[in-house]
Amino acid sequence: MKEKVLEVKEVARECPNYEHDKDKLYLRGKREGKDDDLIIVYLLNKQDFLDKIDKINAKYGKRWRAKPRDESYYYISERGNVERDIDYNCLEDDFRYNFGNYFKTETEAEIARIKIKKLLLEG
């Protein structure tokens, strides 16, 4: 039986970066003549590899984003409550993410909610 592999390709700027929806890891950035180079990662090593990428992204400021249609995230609603939603990769999810109202854990969202409330009430 042939073992499945994770395809890894290159793209410009945000490197290294893993795109869950495409199941691709971008390492070097877009370079003429290098676009089709692949790095093969066996599924046995996939989680370890993705964990390392998460550490790199955290170190260089890449924010976490939920796997579309698979993972949930937390946000602060217009009423000031912490809510949970599944990322369907729609405009509302993009607006929340781009504005910074998008959190991996309920605790992260609650801390942000408290800070925002304090800022608004204290002026």
User: How much is the pLDDT for 27?
Assistant: 59
Per the domain annotation, does 106 fall within a domain? yes
Cα 1 to Cα 4, 32, 46, 47, distances in angstroms: 9, 35, 18, 21
pLDDT, averaged in runs of 10, over the chain (123 residues): 49 51 57 53 74 76 86 96 94 92 95 93 84
Q: What are phi and psi of 42, to 5 degrees?
A: -75, 145
Whether 9 and 53 map to the same domain: the answer is yes
Distance CA 19, CA 80 (A): 31
Per the domain annotation, does 107 fall within a domain? yes
User: How much is the pLDDT for 32?
Assistant: 43
Whether 21 and 50 map to the same domain: the answer is yes
Per the domain annotation, does 66 fall within a domain? no
Per the domain annotation, does 94 fall within a domain? yes
Domain coverage including residue 116? 72-122
Per the domain annotation, does 83 fall within a domain? yes
Beta strands, E only, 1-123: 5-8, 17-19, 24-26, 39-42, 72-76, 82-86
User: How much is the pLDDT for 13?
Assistant: 41
Final residue of a structural domain among 20, 37, 59: 59
Q: What are phi and psi of 52, to 5 degrees?
A: -65, -40
Distance CA 115, CA 118 (A): 5
Whether 50 and 27 map to the same domain: the answer is yes
Domain count across the chain: 2
Q: Is 42 helix (H, G, I), strand (E, B) or coil?
A: strand
The token duo for 121 is: 């009430």
Whether 12 and 55 map to the same domain: the answer is yes
Whether 43 and 9 map to the same domain: the answer is yes
Whether 36 and 9 map to the same domain: the answer is yes
User: Which residues are paired to 25 by β-bridges?
Assistant: 8, 18
Whether 77 and 43 map to the same domain: the answer is no
